[in-house]
Amino acid sequence: MAHNCIVTLVVCVVIVNLSSFGEGDQKLGASFIFGDSLVDAGNNNYLPTLSKANIKPNGIDFTASGGNPTGRYTNGRTIGDIIGEQLGQPNYAMPFLAPNTSGKAILDGVNYASGGGGIMNATGRIFVNRLSMDIQVDYFNITRKQIDKLLGASQARDYIMKKSIFSITIGANDFLNNYLLPVLSVGARISETPDAFVNDLLSNLRGQLTRLYQLDARKFIIGNVGPIGCIPYQKTINRLNEDECVELPNKLALQYNARLKDLLTELNENLPGATFVHANVYDLVMELIRNYDKYGFTTASRACCGNGGQFAGIIPCGPTSTMCSDRSKHVFWDPYHPSEAANIIIAKQLIAGDPKYVSPMPIGRLRDL
C-alpha cells in the first residue's frame, strides 16, 4: 500500500496569518504546519519513499498548480490550505524540503508534514522514508534560527510568539501504519496493550509540543484522530457494508482522543502564555460520513480515485486508477484521504467555531490573541 496516511481527517487545521503587529514589512504572521499526509504539501516529493502523491490525477483540481500534482494527497487543497486562505494568508506554507523554501519566503510559514509520518519514530516504516514528528520539530528548529537571522532575535521572538500559528495534524498513522499492522510484521501490538501504546503516544507528543513551546511557539491547533475505521481502505479490506465502520480502529482513536483532550488541558495550565486549541476532527468527520447527503455528497464510503473491492479502497490513486465523474460528490478522494469538497466543509466548521468541534476558541480568535 503505497499511499498513506490516513485519513484521519485529522484535521488539520491549519492556519494562519495573523493580524498585524508592529511596523515594517512583516505584518502577517506565519503558519507552521506539522503532521501527516492529510496536510503534506510536498515534503515527500523530496524523499526516497513509497508514500508519494506527486503523480496524476492527484491535484487535478488544485488551481495554484494548474491541476498538476504537487504532492498533496487529495484532488485540490488540503484543510490547511483552505484555512490559511480564509484567515488571510497571502501564500501557502511551503514544504520545508523544497529547495526554494528559503529567505523571506519562510516568513509566510513552512510546512513540515510528511505522508506516513507519526508521533512515534517507528510509525510508517513500511514506506521506508517519512518525517516523524520528532524530525519535523528538529526541522522547525532550523527555521527558527533562520528567522532570527532575517528579523533579529527580538523581533523574531515576537513574530513567532505573537503572530504565528502552529497546527499539528498527527496520530492516525500511529494506529494504521504501526499499532494495527499485522502482528507478524512491525506493529507495536506484539509488545504493548492499547493503554500502554496510547500512553507512549501522549508522552511523546507532550515532549514534542513542549519543545515547540521552548522554541517560542505559543498558539497551537491540535487535531485529534478521525474515524479511521470508516475510510474506504478499512471498509474494503474488512468487507463491510456501506453504512458500517471497522470497530477496533475507531475504538483506539476514541481512546487516544479522550487522553489528548486531557493533555491539552494540562498544557494550557502548565505552559505560561500558550494557548492549545483542540480540533475535534473525529466528530466533525463522523458527522460528514453519517449525514453525507445533507452536505451534497452521494457517497461517504467509495473512494473517487482508486481500484479494488466494493469501495475502490485497495489500490491508491494513480494514473491507472478509475476516477469518479463528479469529484465534488465524494467525501473521500482516495482510499485514505478526504476530497477537497470535504476539506472545505471541515475547514469552514473549524473557522465557524462551534464549541463541539473547536475549543476553547475558534481559529480566528486564536489568530487575533
Active-site annotation, residues = 37, 334, 337
User: Taking the alpha carbons of 336, 344, 75, 240 in that order, is the dihedral positive or negative?
Assistant: positive
Who's near 319: CB < 8 A, 6+ residues apart?
55, 56, 57
If 0-12 CB within 10 Å is exposed, 13-18 middle and 19+ buried, where does residue 90 land?
exposed
Listing from the earlier edge strand, what are the strands of the sheet with 275-279? Answer: 94-95, 109-111, 31-35, 165-169, 219-223, 275-279, 358-359
Nearest residue to 362 (alpha-carbon basis) of 347, 344, 345 = 347
Cell numbers linked to 346: 471541515
Grid cell, residue 308, equals 479494488
| C-alpha–C-alpha distance, residues 247 and 237, integer Å | 13
Q: Do β-strands 165-169 and 305-306 pair in parallel, antiparallel, or remain unpaired?
A: unpaired
**Cβ-based neighbours of 24, under 8 Å, separated by 6 or more:** 155
Q: Which residues contact 292 (CB under 8 A, 6 or more apart)?
A: 298, 299, 300, 331
Within 271-316, residue ranges assigned H as helices are 281-290
